[in-house]
Amino acid sequence: NAGVTQTPKFQVLKTGQSMTLQCAQDMNHNSMYWYRQDPGMGLRLIYYSASEGTTDKGEVPNGYNVSRLNKREFSLRLESAAPSQTSVYFCASRGVLRGNQPQHFGDGTRLSIL
């Protein structure tokens, strides 16, 4: 099925370890996004990429880095994981640079940091 694919689905890390979350979309979308969702909260934007070759900070970027590898792939890296980064991470993509189009989400990566 076409859509947004995230890997891995689950991961447990120790404090201080590094980790890269992968995201790929096959809908030829221009924009891609990384969110985190914590209990009792909505999704919060970490980083986004409006088009290939560009990335920008969102609401909660501290402790993360991103790479827009090509039009299909957008990865999120935790250089030194902290317990506060325990969360569910969602990647999303959207088709047009401007205009009203919805974002389409992957099924998430559940990350626990001990």
Partner 1 sequence: DQQVKQNSPSLSVQEGRISILNCDYTNSMFDYFLWYKKYPAEGPTFLISISSIKDKNEDGRFTVFLNKSAKHLSLHIVPSQPGDSAVYFCAASAESSGDKLTFGTGTRLAVRP
Chain residues binding partner 1 by CB under 8 A are: 4, 31, 33, 35, 40-45, 48, 50, 56, 58, 90, 92, 94, 98, 100, 102-108
CB of residue 47 vs partner 1: minimum separation in angstroms? 11
CB of residue 73 vs partner 1: minimum separation in angstroms? 17
> Rg of the Cα trace of the chain?
13
Question: With respect to partner 1, which residue has the nearer C-beta, 58 or 63?
Answer: 58
Cα end-to-end distance, the chain, whole Å:
34
CB of residue 80 vs partner 1: minimum separation in angstroms? 26
Judge contact between 5 and 72, C-beta under 8 A: no
Strand 87-94 versus strand 4-7 pairing type:
unpaired
CB of residue 97 vs partner 1: minimum separation in angstroms? 9
Question: With respect to partner 1, which residue has the nearer C-beta, 3 or 83?
Answer: 3
Question: With respect to partner 1, which residue has the nearer C-beta, 17 or 75?
Answer: 75
Question: With respect to partner 1, which residue has the nearer C-beta, 14 or 39?
Answer: 39
CB-based burial, 61-85: b 16+ in 10 Å, e otherwise = beebebebeebbbbbbebeebeeeb
DSSP for residue 39: T
